[in-house]
Amino acid sequence: MAKSHRLIVVGGGLAGLMTTIKACEAGMDVDLFSVVPVKRSHSVCAQGGINGAVNTKGEGDSPWEHFDDTVYGGDFLANQPPAHKMCEAAPGIIYLMDRLGVPFSRTPEGLLDFRRFGGTKHHRTAFAGASTGQQLLYALDEQVRAFEVAGKVRKFEGWEFLGMVKDSDGADAKCCGIVATNCVTMEVRAFRAAAVALATGGPGLIYGKSTNSMINTGFAAAVSYMQGAKYANGEFIQVHPTAIPGEDKLRLMSESARGEGGRVWVPRNGKPWYFLEEMYPAYGNLVPRDIATRAIYKVVYDMGLGVNGKPVVYLDLSHIPAETLRKKLGAILEIYEKFMGVDPTKVPMQVFPAVHYSMGGLWVDYDQMTNVPGLFAVGEVDYSIHCANRLGANSLLSCIYAGIVAGPAMAKWTKKLKTYADDLPASLYESAVKAHSQRIDFVKKMDGPENPFELGRELGEWMTRNVTVVRYNKKLEETDTKIQELIERWFRIGVKDRGEWGNQCVHYTRQLYTMLQLARVITIGALKRNESRGAHYKPDSPERDDANFLKTTIAMYEPPRVPGVGFGRPREAGEHAFSYEPVDVSLIKPRARKYDVDKGASAAAVVQPVASK
Amino acid sequence: MQDSKRNERTVELHIRRQEKPGAEPRWEIFQLQWRPNLNVIAVLMDIRANPVTADGKATTPPAWDCACLEEVCGACTMIINGVPRQACTALIDKLEQPLRLEPMSKFPVLRDLMVDRSRMFEHLKTVKAWINMDGTHDIGPGPRYSQSLALERYKLSECMTCGCCLEACPQYGPHSKFIGPQAISQVRLFNSHPSGAMSAATRLEAVMGPGGITDCGDAQNCVKVCPKSIPLTESIGVVSQKTTLHAFKKLLWFGS
């Protein structure tokens, strides 16, 4: 039988599943790894919708307009060609998902319905109830299951990626597989592949409580970074303006609540003050997330106007007929009711900003390949498209789009390979397994006074306080020092569970080490960027500085550890080296970003789409 | 005064522990300080950070599955005070104490509250719960259909494969081949889509054999425990009717 190339996809959310499907269609066989059954991936949490300029509302919307909103919303830090291509592909992606059976909300004519989201003036967001991410994920999960039945896909659910395997120690080493561990049996095994795609989502758990799922540790990205992959724009962390405070997590209250007419207010002088509407008359409650979040911070912390003196504001839907709300926002209103025990159609919801999304991530080229040949990254784990700030309902789109690019690109990559992964020496994989097994054994034997979950909580508190909405260099420096202290203390962790089976304590302790390293990348990146842009805001340098910072931040771990990653104390470990890369702004000339006036009014310098396809 | 009194409030929790498959299960009792807005997950997190039982003995942190904590992923399903449900939406103040946490009984226990529900995904393969697509390339819009059908399909499509319905179903379990209400409801979901309907017969036939729809004992427990209020018994009714019709048609067809 002729030899064939196999691919590995790590992560079974929207991006991973789309990559898998596209790779299968390109003739490849795929091994799909996921820490949870793929149907339980974090994509389920996306509520509001998916953007695409289908233009069925007579508003003159177009992919170019969507593209302009996207790069304007992202404060011009995006490389424009891939963002442009994504917006061009968007209507086709929505049609595809409709064909696959996603129960999108519809118009009286039976066409797709669209709602408004933040940062745009157009009805451009297709939605399925109020759990659009869940519905899109299920549609792709079903198609992957069909490929699984057809023998094209092998699933490894309940397996966690530990690191990539490279085919040499050289600077041009290619990724030729992964080492993974079974979360229950704790078995450590190497898997060969012609190329690997990481689709492992964001690092929300670094912030302790966030809107992210409990699986979003950022571990896979952090390990790959420590093995030599570039990490880009780590400092750009989106804080969603409206989340429901909780003891275990901060639950998202979708932007669609505002898209359907929800108003944000606090009591002032005995009357409701609709501060977003007053501060930003052109966009009102539908300003982009970074703008809304900062306004809420200002009202709550600077002006002391939080509801009942607490850090919360009202998000009010009670003026909209309950029937309309149930139909359009049913699932998210249920969430509020279930967790808070209050009916949001009658009483205003109490919300506060929460860490939500990482615009930064692994650096990728326009084929979604990282700087490590053969290692691809797709979805939230990659840095492309959104840059300084992501627009609502662009994430589901970018995940699917990344998969559409990566699947065929990986298939094409295998054509260039001169060797099959199966022909590489076994010693390569055996030594990788040995290195990772040794690390896990090291963790299992840890016997100090510190509790890993408490350390994680401390990290989260520091990061949330100092590396989110308002950033001061002094605080950032202190935070970096603190993280280094936490790394020192990590070595004094005591693992309370000596079990050889489903040992979540060992898994978390191992993850925490790399989370601490990634926290440093985020913090130092923020410290070095002395300007304000999108989600990154420094009161001491309040303006955007295109002359010095219209650049992508690139972090590299030096020297990278191959094939495993040694645990090292801050002084013994590698250095986080930072550099900057120019941004491709060839399609739309950067202009000032303002939401108190209409977009076009901020500058007349919109380049016409002469070169667009 | 009031505050100090409030701080004395505690939460008592009994957790069924099991080290690994086949190991002998045991109960452990935990007592924690009460706080407002606690759910079962937050309490488990507290125990994880300080794994000490009510009588002061150090123990291992209990293992449990969870992901989204917003009741859309289905991961954290367990039996709480005798009822299968998600731990994230189980609010402490609305539950009777002492709380009893157990793993689901219809699936193999992996450790403590973690179970292996992979069988549920096999059922989805059995009933071919997907649209047979021509490919993912851009070939224009999908079929038009009404908003009322979209709403009906959305309701069915909210199934997060959590397993509550199967836990509650007396016919389902390691003892039987019955695929259960979740998979049968998926037959209805896909057969109601204009493109899915083109391969309706194969899905109906998948539930016509042993372990299929006729194994339903009509206990109607499934619909009572579904966290998403999916009309499971209605789905079973609809699919049952269609299978009968389909069998009849086939009979006529062979007869002619």
Report how far residue A588's alpha carbon sits from residue A594's, in angstroms, rounded to the nearest whole number.
16
A36/B75 CB distance under 8 A: yes
Cα–Cα nearest to B136, from A398, A20, A401, A21: A21
Number of helical H runs and strand E runs in chain A: 15, 21
Full-model pTM: 0.95
Count CB atoms within 10 A of the CB of residue A453: 22
* pLDDT for position A313: 97
- pLDDT over 60 (residue A613): no
A179-199: per-residue pLDDT in tens?
A: 999 999 999 999 999 999 999
Predicted-complex ipTM score: 0.96
* pLDDT for position A601: 58
* pLDDT for position A541: 97
Q: Three-class SS of residue A180?
A: strand
Cα–Cα nearest to A386, from A238, A518, A276: A238
- pLDDT over 50 (residue A143): yes
Which of B61, B118, B190 is nearest residue A496 as measured by Cβ atoms?
A: B61
B160/A496 CB distance under 8 A: no
Identity at B133, one-letter amino acid code: M
Pick the more confident residue, A568 or A202.
A202
pLDDT > 90: percent of chain A = 86
Report how far residue A62's alpha carbon sits from residue B167's, in angstroms, rounded to the nearest whole number.
49
Report how far residue A307's alpha carbon sits from residue A314's, in angstroms, rounded to the nearest whole number.
7
Measure the N-to-C terminal CA separation of chain A; round to a whole number of Å: 43
Q: How far is B161 from chain A (nearest CA, A)?
A: 8
User: In terms of DSSP H, where are the helices of A267-355?
Assistant: 275-279, 289-297, 322-340
Which of B35, B73, B151 is nearest residue A40 as measured by Cβ atoms?
A: B73
Cα–Cα nearest to A243, from A277, A294, A284, A209: A209
Estimate the crossing angle of helix B180-191 against helix B118-126, to 10 degrees.
40
Report how far residue A163's alpha carbon sits from residue A489's, in angstroms, rounded to the nearest whole number.
24
Distance of CA A105 to the CA centre of its chain: 25
Beta bridge partners of A361: A232
Report how far residue A198's alpha carbon sits from residue A204's, in angstroms, rounded to the nearest whole number.
17
Distance of CA A540 to the CA centre of its chain: 28
Nearest CA in chain A to B142: A99
Report how far residue A182's alpha carbon sits from residue A34's, in angstroms, rounded to the nearest whole number.
10
B38-85: per-residue pLDDT in tens?
A: 999 999 999 999 999 999 999 999 999 999 999 999 999 999 999 999
Convert A108-117 to b/e letters by CB count within 10 Å (16 or more is b). eeebbbbbbb
Q: How far is B113 from chain A (nearest CA, A)?
A: 11
- pLDDT over 90 (residue B90): yes
Nearest CA in chain B to A104: B150
Estimate the crossing angle of helix A395-416 against helix A80-99, to 10 degrees.
100
Confidence of residue A606 (pLDDT cuts 50, 70, 90): very low
B71/A335 CB distance under 8 A: yes
Which of A108, A128, A341 is nearest residue B147 as measured by Cβ atoms?
A: A108
Beta bridge partners of A581: A552
Q: How far is A101 from chain B (nearest CA, A)?
A: 7
Q: Look up residue A417 and give its two tokens.
A: 């390979």
Residues in A touching B190 (Cβ below 8 Å):
101
B67/A215 CB distance under 8 A: yes
* pLDDT for position A610: 39
* pLDDT for position A154: 98
Residues in B touching A453 (Cβ below 8 Å):
45, 48-49
* DSSP label of A309: G
Which of A21, A214, A341 is nearest residue B136 as measured by Cβ atoms?
A: A21
* pLDDT for position A401: 98
Q: How far is A111 from chain B (nearest CA, A)?
A: 6
Q: How far is A281 from chain B (nearest CA, A)?
A: 33
Q: Which of B18, B113, B127, B136 to mutate against chain A (most A CBs within 10 Å)?
A: B136
Q: How many residues are recorded in chain B?
A: 256
Q: Which of residues 254-273 of A touch B (CB under 8 A)?
A: none
Residues B80 and B99: beta-carbon distance below 8 Å: yes
Identity at B67, one-letter amino acid code: A
Q: Three-class SS of residue A274?
A: coil
* pLDDT for position A571: 65
Q: What backbone phi and psi angles, to 5 degrees, belong to A205?
A: -65, -15
Virtual torsion, Cα A93, A94, A95, A99, nearest 10 deg: 100
B91/A341 CB distance under 8 A: yes
Residues in B touching A99 (Cβ below 8 Å):
131, 133, 139, 141-143, 195
Report how far residue A586's alpha carbon sits from residue A44's, in angstroms, rounded to the nearest whole number.
35
Q: Which of residues 212-251 of A touch B (CB under 8 A)?
A: 213-215, 246-249, 251
A44/B160 CB distance under 8 A: yes
Residues in B touching A338 (Cβ below 8 Å):
71, 89
Which of B61, B88, B89 is nearest residue A497 as measured by Cβ atoms?
A: B61
Pick the more confident residue, B29 or A572.
B29
Which of A143, A335, A499 is nearest residue B70 as measured by Cβ atoms?
A: A335
Report how far residue B137's alpha carbon sits from residue A152's, in angstroms, rounded to the nearest whole number.
18
Confidence of residue A604 (pLDDT cuts 50, 70, 90): very low
Average pLDDT of chain B, as a whole number: 95
Q: Look up residue A237 and give its two tokens.
A: 């962390």
Is the omega angle on the peptide bond into residue A539 within 30 degrees of 0, that is, cis? no
Confidence of residue A170 (pLDDT cuts 50, 70, 90): confident
A561 is annotated as an active-site residue: no
Mean pLDDT of A350-362: 97
Residues in B touching A134 (Cβ below 8 Å):
72, 158, 160
Q: Three-class SS of residue B138?
A: coil
Strands B10-17 and B99-102: parallel
Identity at A10, one-letter amino acid code: V
Q: How many residues are recorded in chain A?
A: 613
Confidence of residue A602 (pLDDT cuts 50, 70, 90): low
Lowest mean pLDDT among A11-25, A84-98, A247-261: A247-261
Per residue, the 3-state secondary structure of A42-109, as one string, reads: HHHHCCCCEECCCCCCCCCCCHHHHHHHHHHHCCCCCCHHHHHHHHHHHHHHHHHHHHCCCCCCECCC
Kindly tell me the sign of the dihedral angle through the C-alpha atoms of A487, A354, B226, B14: positive
Residues in B touching A244 (Cβ below 8 Å):
none
A106/B146 CB distance under 8 A: yes
Which of A99, A157, A213 is nearest residue B73 as measured by Cβ atoms?
A: A213
* pLDDT for position B255: 63
- pLDDT over 60 (residue A352): yes
Q: Three-class SS of residue A513?
A: helix
* pLDDT for position A563: 47
Average pLDDT of chain A, as a whole number: 93
Kindly tell me the sign of the dihedral angle through the C-alpha atoms of A503, A506, A510, A515: positive
Nearest CA in chain B to A157: B118
A536-592: per-residue pLDDT in tens?
A: 999 999 999 999 999 999 999 988 764 455 677 766 678 899 999 999 999 999 999
A95/B75 CB distance under 8 A: no
Q: Which of residues 152-211 of A touch B (CB under 8 A)?
A: 157, 184
Residues 6+ apart with CB under 8 A from A248: A209, B39, B41, B42, B45, B69, B88
User: How large is the greatest C-alpha to C-alpha distance in chain B, in angstroms?
Assistant: 86
Report how far residue A100's alpha carbon sits from residue A149's, in angstroms, rounded to the nearest whole number.
17
CA atoms within 13 A on the CB side of A480: 18
B69/A248 CB distance under 8 A: yes
Q: How far is B255 from chain A (nearest CA, A)?
A: 33
* pLDDT for position A48: 86
Report how far residue A49's alpha carbon sits from residue A52's, in angstroms, rounded to the nearest whole number.
10
Q: What backbone phi and psi angles, to 5 degrees, belong to A231?
A: -115, 125
Residues 6+ apart with CB under 8 A from B5: none
* DSSP label of A234: T
Number of helical H runs and strand E runs in chain B: 9, 7
Q: Look up residue A182 and give its two tokens.
A: 């079974």
Which of A100, A103, A246 is nearest residue B154 as measured by Cβ atoms?
A: A103
Residues A138 and A531: beta-carbon distance below 8 Å: no
User: How large is the greatest C-alpha to C-alpha distance in chain A, in angstroms?
Assistant: 80
Q: Look up residue A289 and give its two tokens.
A: 């997330």
B101-129: per-residue pLDDT in tens?
A: 999 999 999 999 999 999 999 999 999 99
B154/A135 CB distance under 8 A: yes
What's the CA angle centered on A256, arms A251 and A262, to 5 degrees? 95
Report how far residue B57's alpha carbon sits from residue B59's, in angstroms, rounded to the nearest whole number.
6
* pLDDT for position A609: 41
Per-position DSSP letters for A555-568, written without gaps between them: EEEESPPSSS----
A248/B42 CB distance under 8 A: yes
Residues in A touching B117 (Cβ below 8 Å):
37
* pLDDT for position B111: 97
Kindly name the residue from A6, A115, A289, A529 that is annotated as catalytic.
A289
Number of A–B residue contacts, CB under 8 Å: 202
Residues 6+ apart with CB under 8 A from B48: A453, A504, A505, B61, B62
Residue whose entry in the numeric block shows the structure tokens 């391969």: B199
Cα–Cα nearest to A151, from A3, A31, A10, A16: A31
B51/A496 CB distance under 8 A: yes
pLDDT > 70: percent of chain B = 96
Residue whose entry in the numeric block shows the structure tokens 């998916």: A50
Sheet order of strands, A551-558 included: A361-362, A231-232, A551-558, A575-582
Q: How far is A252 from chain B (nearest CA, A)?
A: 9
A300-326: per-residue pLDDT in tens?
A: 999 999 999 999 999 999 999 999 998
Question: Rounded to whole angstroms, what are the CA distances from A98 to A104, A110, A142, B134, B197?
Answer: 7, 12, 13, 13, 15
* pLDDT for position A597: 86
A451/B49 CB distance under 8 A: yes
Cα–Cα nearest to A240, from A353, A130, A317, A138: A353
Mean pLDDT of B196-216: 97
B142/A95 CB distance under 8 A: yes
Report how far residue A95's alpha carbon sits from residue A99's, in angstroms, rounded to the nearest whole number.
6
A101/B71 CB distance under 8 A: no
What stretch of H or E contains A24? Answer: helix A14-25
A459-501: per-residue pLDDT in tens?
A: 999 999 999 999 999 999 999 999 999 999 999 999 989 888 9
- pLDDT over 90 (residue A603): no
